């Protein structure tokens, strides 16, 4: 499965908060990114400004950098508004 095909709800994204050894993901403009390996996101915290496990679209406007920084992290999926039904 390609990363961009994986779908996350906000509730599912909360599980990827980077704490206690869990992966650190965040959403921005409907896309979900993996920052687990970034030294700038230790324990799911980005320099006291942003937290993993949530949609930071509205928060990035206050960041000292633009969205071009997202080109440096791995895209792992997309954010959806409702749970997806599993196909049988």
Q: Specify the pLDDT at position 1.
A: 41
Conformation bin of residue 48: beta by default, left when phi > 0, alpha when psi is -120 to 50: left
Number of residues assigned to the chain: 88
Q: Is the pLDDT of residue 21 over 90?
A: yes
User: With pLDDT > 90 as the criterion, what percentage of the chain qualifies?
Assistant: 49
Cα–Cα distance for residue pair 52/79, rounded to 1 Å:
14
Cβ atoms of 79 and 32 closer than 8 Å: yes
pLDDT in tens, 51-88: 999 998 887 776 667 677 888 899 999 999 865 555 54
pTM of the model: 0.81
Q: Is the pLDDT of residue 25 over 70?
A: yes
């Amino acid at each position: 499965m390609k990363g961009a095909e994986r779908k996350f709800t906000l509730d599912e994204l909360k599980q990827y908060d980077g704490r206690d050894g869990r992966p650190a993901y965040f959403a921005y403009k409907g896309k979900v990114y993996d920052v687990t390996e970034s030294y700038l996101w230790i324990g799911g915290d980005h320099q006291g400004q942003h937290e993993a496990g949530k949609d930071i679209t509205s928060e990035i406007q206050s960041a000292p950098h633009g969205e071009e920084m997202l080109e440096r992290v791995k895209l792992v999926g997309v954010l959806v508004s409702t749970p997806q039904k599993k196909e049988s």
